[in-house]
Amino acid sequence: MFSGSIPALATPFCDGSFAEDVFRAFVDWQIDQGSSALVPCGTTGEASTLSNAEHHRVIEVCIEQAAGRVPVIAGCGSNDTTNALLHLNFSKKCGAAAGLVVAPYYNRPNQDGIYAHFETLTQGNDLPLVLYNVPARTVTDILPETVAALSKLPTVAAIKDASGSLDRVTEHRLDCEQDFCLLSGVDELSLAFNASGGVGCISVTANVAPKLCAEFQAACAAGDYKKALELNDVLYPLHKALFSDASPGPIKYALSRVVDGFPTDLRLPMTRPSDASCKQVDAALEGAGLI
């Protein structure tokens, strides 16, 4: 269903408010640079700091601006199943291709609770779901047997796997439904992830290097792992630099260097990245030929 380089879009803010015009131009640039789909309101988009009204407006603007040129996978995650369903209902009404739904965080449900969360969402809305497993942020972990069971539900279409466990790619490929789509959620693991059966990445780095990330994913899809390795070596310092301080601080700093007029504003509790982080980002951007 989905493949290639899919940026988890940063949300620009100016004076505390969603900078809609900047975001529209950002969406156009991403599409022009070769991104194969877009994800608004994910972790990188600071979704946890958005009101529901803001959350929905970011999704709406992304879908309007993409105008069918690429699919939009709307961030619909919540630790409250009812609120996640609210996001899904809005996203479907706006024309999203799918909803990205993170494992419930903070509540720490067991595997039965995780399954019930996603099952309830599929019963309440027929928008395709992309599971998002990121235990480092949520504490909860969607175990492979739970992913396999969820893949049998009619609208569970894919997973963004940010568990960091590469053996899961093979487990998911062998145990899940045949058409279940495997997407990496960790940029620096994407080369090995794709070689194990993945088909793309919901990417942080693609915010600032969309063309390079698209070329990397295209090389993997073509089986040209010599070219993919070369591109991975160029991108790797940037993958690391963008997490040299609390995300998305370094990402927004990098965007301000690459995209004219992109603001560095963050919402609390996120704060400006350290000078050391900014220097690491600058070096990585220069090394990749982006500045």
Check 92, 132, 252, 253 and give the catalytic one: 132
d(CA 82, CA 265): 30
Within 10 angstroms of residue 141's Cβ, the number of other Cβ atoms is: 16
Q: Is the peptide bond before 40 cis (omega within 30 degrees of 0)?
A: no
| Beta-sheet pairing, 4-7 with 200-203 | parallel
Q: Shortest CA distance to 26 belongs to which of 124, 13, 74?
A: 13
Contact present, 157 and 129 (Cβ < 8 Å): yes
DSSP character for 81?
Answer: H
Q: Shortest CA distance to 131 belongs to which of 48, 92, 73?
A: 73
In the chain, the amino acid numbered 206 is A
DSSP character for 104?
Answer: P
| Beta-sheet pairing, 73-75 with 200-203 | unpaired
DSSP character for 8?
Answer: B
160 classed as catalytic: yes
132 classed as catalytic: yes
Check 160, 225, 226, 227 and give the catalytic one: 160
Contact present, 100 and 62 (Cβ < 8 Å): no
Q: Is 83 exposed, middle or buried (0-12, 13-18, 19+ CB in 10 A)?
A: middle
Residues paired with 257 in a beta bridge: none
Q: Is 195 exposed, middle or buried (0-12, 13-18, 19+ CB in 10 A)?
A: middle
d(CA 26, CA 10): 9
Give me the active site residues, please. Answer: 132, 160
